[in-house]
A and B are shown apart, each in its own frame.
Chain A
């Protein structure tokens, strides 16, 4: 007699195979995700001269941290780090502020034409970013923000996607709360700051994570908008190893690895919010 539950016992022979098959598939998938990272670590730890042979040997003959030292020696890597954090941090803060205010206006205040304006606003999401690259560049140039932190931060301080995300979230907060607050004596500003914002906190965190990651990783806009070395952000900085010093592959891998650390920590800490955010966009969008 088997000690399995009736539900398990009732399944056919094919179903018996399904579980191990799923397991194997998942392991293979997992490996395919991990291997590039392992490879990256191995390259970053090997000698520059040995890189080409690594595909044959599979493991560096001598583990060395030289590449990591080179990263800091040859470029102002700490400055890149600071720039990335500085720009992504400001963008995140500003996006949370502007998007939450816009979302409040689009979800809690009745004004003529509101939903049409919102559709228009959403419509900007349909325009590919590359199309706007040149016009944006010209505008920033005209405003005198070229090669300046403001040029990196201000254009990214507003986000139709973020507004959409928070609006969807705020729509789930019952309107009787605003009404109760209005009768209690609150105007829009108080309702926004003391009732809606605290309740929208999970939504705000999701937006903050998305905004930070997106801007931390952003490459093209900072590339065309900055010239000075001390304004370079990490993704642009990584490029230096390709141009100025030939292709120093171990250094590139070492730098990239270090650049990945903050997003990974962020992910581990705020995983549950990220998943929630993806559901927000998917189910209710």
Chain B
């Protein structure tokens, strides 16, 4: 096992295209870290640099206390699972798993023992004599996992390993990967573009973006902290199963409180009083353009806490109602025409048309500076110090 450290890592292709820059990460011994972001954000490039499959243009990468910038992949003591599995098509499952061990000149009995043990662990014992072509997608995935595990490497690297599986298998395999990690406690770096996969798997997640033309890290924290305290609008929009609602508006001061107002002066479509604890921080921003971020789950047709109708409600016209079982998704339209999605509890019936008043959970609203990467005004540094590491590591 080992800690992996990236310091000021930068990758430039062909001397001109900057793929990623300013990558600073410390992946703790035994930690499960997920790199997540839309395509082109440099998450795979970062992983491949750790693996040694891409050269590093600037910066240093260390595994344990050894700088590995110029170390060949085979000498980095890593194992990797590829998106397309990369199983050797001409070898049996057993040989696929044994290949790495043979190259490391382990005794034959030891190889046999390890392969059998790992195959047992993954439930692929009866497939050992088959060729990859004769396996289903899920089975290939397991063999690829087995080939990585059997090596007993100090770092596991996963490059979108579930994206070729169907939705159901993806969820079950996800759980199994998590179980395996709990059991083996090997330092793991996992790349995915799926925010749900990232949230469920990672001890910590790294949200990356390519919005400014270069891949950079936007935020690093535990899944719940990133979800609750996005540092900027991009992170807020990227995480969460249903997309966050955004409304452009401005801050005004009235009745001793700071209000978010959107829409025309005389008939605003949204008028929300920010919580008193934020008043100090926001006072300096009064008059400025800001964007309100509202998760669909922060809306309710009943008051959720101390909200009062005058200070924390939004009126809207219901357009479409989609029952999902436990929840109902309500698509509606504000008086100024902007759309809004609410995810409410399905215990109560909900009107399928007409005007509805939603209560807003003001504890969980977000304010951002304008623009796609506008910084958060309420939590510019992410989670407050005393709230880190919720649900982390499970240790």
Question: A: which residues have CB within 8 A of B?
Answer: 174, 176-177, 179-187, 190, 194-195, 198-199
Contact = CB atoms under 8 A, between A and B. Distances in A.
Interface stretch (B70-78, B179-187, B279-287): B70-78
B103 A186 contact: yes
A185 B104 contact: yes
Interface of B: 51-53, 72-74, 76, 78-80, 82-84, 86-90, 99-100, 103-104, 147, 151
Contacts of B72: 182, 187
Contacts of B51: 179, 183
A118 B89 CA distance: 28
A194 to B, nearest CB: 8
A56 B76 CA distance: 82
Nearest to B82: A176
20 contacts: A174-B84, A176-B82, A176-B83, A176-B86, A177-B88, A179-B73, A179-B80, A180-B82, A181-B99, A182-B53, A183-B76, A183-B79, A184-B74, A184-B100, A184-B147, A184-B151, A185-B74, A185-B100, A186-B103, A195-B88
Nearest to B75: A185
A137 B146 CA distance: 58
B100 A179 contact: no
Contact of B86 (A177, A186, A187, A190): A177
Given A190-B103, A199-B90, A183 B84 contact: no
Given A180-B88, A185-B100, 9 more contacts: A174-B84, A179-B80, A179-B82, A183-B52, A183-B73, A183-B79, A184-B147, A186-B103, A198-B90
Contacts of A184: 74, 99-100, 103, 147, 151
Contacts of A180: 80, 82, 86-88, 147
- Interface on chain A toward B: helix, strand, loop, or mixed SS? helix
B89 A186 contact: no
A179 B86 contact: yes
B88 A187 contact: no
A176 B44 CA distance: 13
A179 B88 CA distance: 11
A183 B89 CA distance: 17
Contacts of B89: 199
Contact of B80 (A183, A190, A195): A183
B84 A176 contact: yes
A259 B123 CA distance: 58
A182 B74 contact: yes
A185 B79 contact: no
A183 B90 contact: no
Given A195-B88, A198-B90, A199-B89, A185 B103 contact: yes
A177 B83 CA distance: 11
A194 B53 CA distance: 19
A199 B133 CA distance: 13
Given A176-B82, A190-B103, A183 B88 contact: no
A177 to B, nearest CB: 5
A183 B99 contact: no
A183 B78 contact: yes
A199 B79 CA distance: 23
Given A174-B84, A187-B74, A179 B53 contact: yes
Contacts of B78: 183
A184 B52 CA distance: 12
Contacts of B74: 182-187
B70 to A, nearest CB: 15
- Which 3 residue pairs spanning A and B have beta carbons closest together? A184-B100, A185-B103, A176-B86
